[in-house]
Amino acid sequence: MSRLLGGTLERVCKAVLLLCLLHFLVAVILYFDVYAQHLAFFSRFSARGPSRALHPAASSSTNCSRPNATAPSSGLPEAPSARPGPTAPVLPPCPDSPPGLVGRLLIEFTSPMPLERVQRENPGVLLGGRYTPPDCTPAQTVAVIIPFRHREHHLRYWLHYLHPILRRQRLRYGIYVINQHGEDTFNRAKLLNVGFLEALKEDSTYNCFIFSDVDLVPMDDRNLYRCGDQPRHFAIAMDKFGFRLPYAGYFGGVSGLNKSQFLRINGFPNEYWGWGGEDDDIFNRISLAGMKISRPDIRIGRYRMIKHDRDKHNEPNPQRSRSSPGFFLLSPYVSGPSAGLISAAPARFTKIQNTKLTMKRDGIGSVRYQVLEVSRQPLFTNITVDIGRPPSWPPRG
């Protein structure tokens, strides 16, 4: 009996021992498995973090030698050259026919027009009267040049109407008011030469130049202030001329030439002091250079003039005396078969007929002046210049 009991107890002990051994083996296997996982985890962490901290230059050199490779971030700010910055969106070309034009405009000069109001109406215009369309790329950069003296009242109306028109036309442009210093006789064409040179000094990309009197406002925004293959005459139908072209060779009021056209005719003449004559000389220069005048449709090229008395020291130049026969200027104030004929001095015609001789020596290459002040206003750039005095003319008679 005791021998049977002892045999059973021995078998139980062996079973327990086997179970304990099996448990131990399982525990060892699980231990090494967990250990291996932890070891792999810490190995990955160690390979990423410390290598970066100890060798930042190696990471940087990897980017330099392999432009398309990407390296893990170090958490430190990177140099600007290492990360491509945002690229500016490529704007489409501005359309030849801007979609925002309204056509015929109502132009009036009775309401008060403070500059503060004009500035509020044109928030996109930058200091100096510069503007660039935000949604397209213009083909031209336009400098609008205004010969000026003592016309602040007119300038406010001009800015009020022209800034919105030019913005709707999707132009990249700048406004330059060329102010003649002093009280000597006015010289419109010489001031325009000055404006051409000074605008290019500020921005050499100007390739279209619009020359505009300050008292002329277009009545239709489809009259696009751009330059073309030929010199452009914009103001072809003014209200003071009954909305018709006064004569075939008229090139006054508002005109435009690109840079090469302007240089081709040696700019404008500098020797016409006082009112009149220079526009006919410019027309001759264009014709002698083998170019033709382009004009808008007469229904679109309509302008209103701000009525005013002729300025002091802007009397007809000494070659425009109306006391001698021989020269005829069309006038809208005479009707009938002789409409528009008023006499003026033949000396003025003599000068204009000599344009072929004078245009090479008198023009943009010979203009002399001194800039006294450049002031960039919110709506325009004012350039005050001393252009000298006219020569003393011998007394007539």
Distance CA 53, CA 341 (A): 93
- Among candidate residues 198, 220, 271, 279, the one labeled active-site is 279
Residue 275 a catalytic site member: yes
Active site residue 158: no
- Residue 12 sits at φ, ψ, to 5 deg, of -60, -40
> Which two three-digit tokens encode residue 87?
């690229």
Exactly one of 154, 156, 215, 220 is catalytic; name it: 215
Beta strand spans in the chain (E): 141-148, 172-180, 208-212, 216-218, 232-233, 237-238, 254-258, 302-305, 327-329, 342-344, 370-376, 381-386
Structure tokens at 168: 């709707």
Assess whether 33 carries a catalytic annotation. no
Question: Which is the catalytic residue, given 233, 305, 320, 362?
Answer: 305
* Active-site entry in 198, 213, 220, 362: 213
Instruction: Report the alpha-carbon distance of residue 73 to residue 85 in Å, rounded.
Output: 17
Q: Which of 308, 368, 389, 396 is catalytic?
A: 308
Given 44, 55, 299, 310, which residue is catalytic?
310
> Where do we find the tokens 């010199």?
231
**Residue 281: active-site member:** no
Which tokens sit at 150? 């003592």
Is residue 199 within 8 A of residue 175, CB to CB? The reply is no
CA 308 and chain centroid, separation: 31
Set 198, 221, 271, 278: catalytic member: 278
Both tokens of residue 17? 């021992």
The DSSP-derived string for 47-81 is HHHHHHHH-HHHHHHHHHH-TT------SSPPPGG
Clarify whether 279 is annotated catalytic.
yes
DSSP three-state, residue 135: coil
- Which residue out of 181, 184, 275, 376 is catalytically annotated? 275
Which residues are identified as catalytic?
213, 215, 275, 278-279, 305, 308, 310
